[in-house]
Structure 1
Amino acid sequence: MEYPLRVALAGAATTPSAGPGWWYEPKLDGDRAVVWRRDTVRVQTRSGRDATAAWIDIATAAMDLPPDTVLDGEAVLWRDGRTDFGAVRSRTSARGRCLADLIHRYPASYVAFDCLMLHGRDLRGCPYLERRAALLEVLEPLGPPLQAVPATDDVDVALAWYEHLPAQGIEGIVAKAATSTYRPMRAWKKIRHAETVDAEAIGYVGPAGRPRRVAVLLPDGRRMLSQALTPPIAVEIVRHIAKSAPGQPLRTDDGETYTTTGGGLVVEVESGTTRHATVAVVRVR
């Protein structure tokens, strides 16, 4: 298995798939993180970036995993009894003493939902239930901050999670077929309270070092400007701009001017806002 790997994704659905052969997991509001335990530990983001420094407490705990183990899951931060995605963004955008302070004040948890390699054996071609068994086997002796996400094949239990756990920061549920293999495509189904869509960041408004808004290409082909960026998201956009060639002025479908930037950066936007003149970016993928 080569680093970095392309992760499996979930497509949006309005209702969970019911019937035999489906399993359900609560969807936590965190940062996608692939944990690689080789001679040392590396933490990979959904896009393939190395985020080990931001999640060094998870990496340290993961040294207790067997060598040649790879897990997929979410890095989450708990504050006041619920997951806090704002704290996650602050952690991933911080550096130096600020990052060290955040790690000390808000230690991370790693909630794994898949085991992709165990003892050097690539499990991606194995069915979900076999990978789930391997996940429980490898994490059972360790405990927090490394833990397996709960899972059930009872759709009524899954719906209870969906209805009663939003106060703890649970975004919804993910449905997975028991026989499904791990593939870099939208093979799973997610049912969320506040549905989002992925868009490509194609430009920005404002100075390159302090972008105020980002231009996005939506799945339906529309080009639109976002609402004002939060500071953590703006920091990540700045990093992307710095790695891109000099941009050119273009206009959105509404005639608003923006400066182009290199492609390849995926942002998550609230789907409800895409019907209007702007979109709300909730995270960088």
Structure 2
Amino acid sequence: MDLPVMPPVSPMLAKSVPNIPEVGHYEPKWDGFRTIVFRDGDDVILGSRNEKPMTRYFPELVEALKENLPEKCVVDGEIILISGNRLDFEGLQQRIHPADSRVRMLAEKTPSSFVGFDLLALGDEDLTARPFSERRAALEKALADAEPPVYVTPAVNDLERAQEWFVQLEGAGLDGVLSKPLDGTYQPNKRVMFKTKHERTADCVVAGFRWHKTADVVGSMLLGLYDDSGKLHHVGVVAAFPMAKRKAMVAELEPYQVEIADHPWGEWATQETGAAVGSRMPGAQSRWSAGKDFSFVPLRPELVIEVAYDYMEGDRFRHTTQFRRWRPDRTPESCTYAQLEEPADYNLGEILKLQ
């Protein structure tokens, strides 16, 4: 492979802002695997955000990229999985598997797509020092004839339209809106773009905690919500606390500690049991955990906190939540899925046609 921009390259990043800034260019924020595609003829490398190649996990996409990208180019974008009219991040995660036979099976069963949103190199020319307005124009021209499953991300230059997108596109599983200065150069691993994501709040049961990886203090608290049958589900964690607060929480939570056998998640006392009942355990290992210790200290489900979250992925919070306040005025039984706001559905196929 001989390109003017060679792998590995850390992708350019975005910093979170509460409101969409007026910078002149707006795109949907896709929820997939950030990927920089390097193509030199028949050689294709899919570089991930951590700079490790993902090429072997998406053989069907490699072939599609050969058919739709210029012979020699470097394109920044996102690998996504479309299920019905929505993005399916959980399904996309399943594509990362060590067994080649399963990789091939999933490539046929749940084929992926690629959405390009920046052009770093074309032919023998390095475009990273060019302003984004020129790179975007070059991307649109280079991928003008691209067909599914390869797309150019839709974009608008109008702030009012971007604000409409922020509300509208969430119903198809999108993350929010990205704002990109038109005069910006491509700066790997620098937060020079802006992302505006949804934030909501929910009252959750504190059902356990994990120890901090470096000290005998609370690392994260495990959150639960009740379903209509009264079963408490593990829905995520809250983890961002000052060190002094982490220390104080050890004593605050100690009176609520209980044996796992007396806990609603007692059926998950071992990973084997959890696997048998088909439930996701708060202490489970997976191919994403890299052998980390996710065991937890069970607590009587009596404490309630309010957390901020962006959106749900299935029946869990997609990302780590943010602590807002304790809710001594709420009963644990009132912490149900019914309180969660659901965005109106929107057809993902219509988004990919937008310009």
**Secondary structure in 2 matching 1:159:** helix
Q: Distance in 2 between matches of 1:124 and 1:98?
A: 37
- Change in Cα spacing, 1:221 to 1:102, as seen in structure 2 (3 Å) is farther
Which portions of structure 1, spanning 4 or more consecutive aligned residues, are displaced by more than 6 angstroms?
Answer: 219-224
What is the deviation of 1:228? 2.3
Letter in 1 for 2:29: K
Equivalent residue, structure 2, for 1:187: 192
Structure 1 counterpart of 2:37, from 35, 38, 59: 35
Q: Distance in 2 between matches of 1:147 and 1:115?
A: 13
Equivalent residue, structure 2, for 1:235: 287
Q: Is 1:272 the equivalent of 2:322?
A: yes
Q: Distance in 2 between matches of 1:230 and 1:136?
A: 44
Gaps of 5+ in 2: 201-211, 215-236, 247-280, 294-317, 327-355
Letter in 1 for 2:288: E
- Give the alignment of 1:1-285 within 5 angstroms: 1-18=5-22, 21-39=23-41, 40-64=43-67, 65-93=69-97, 95-184=99-188, 185-194=190-199, 228=282, 234-238=286-290, 269-272=319-322
Gaps of 5+ in 1: 196-200, 204-214, 242-246, 248-267, 277-285
Higher strand share: 1
- Change in Cα spacing, 1:48 to 1:155, as seen in structure 2 (3 Å) is same
What is the deviation of 1:75? 0.4
Higher gyration radius (CA): 2
What is the deviation of 1:180? 0.6
Q: Distance in 2 between matches of 1:275 and 1:160?
A: 31
Q: Distance in 2 between matches of 1:31 and 1:186?
A: 18
What is the deviation of 1:38? 1.4
Q: Distance in 2 between matches of 1:62 and 1:222?
A: 50
Contact 1:16 1:191 in 2 (8 A): yes
Residue identity (%): 28
Letter in 2 for 1:169: G
- Change in Cα spacing, 1:171 to 1:68, as seen in structure 2 (3 Å) is same
What is the deviation of 1:71? 0.4
TM-score (norm 1): 0.72
- Change in Cα spacing, 1:92 to 1:216, as seen in structure 2 (3 Å) is farther
What is the deviation of 1:28? 1.2
**Secondary structure in 2 matching 1:135:** helix
Per-residue CA deviation, residues 33-74 of structure 1 (Å, 9 max, x unaligned), is 111101411101101011001122221111132233000111
| Aligned pairs, number | 232
Letter in 1 for 2:167: E
Contact 2:17 2:194 in 1 (8 A): yes
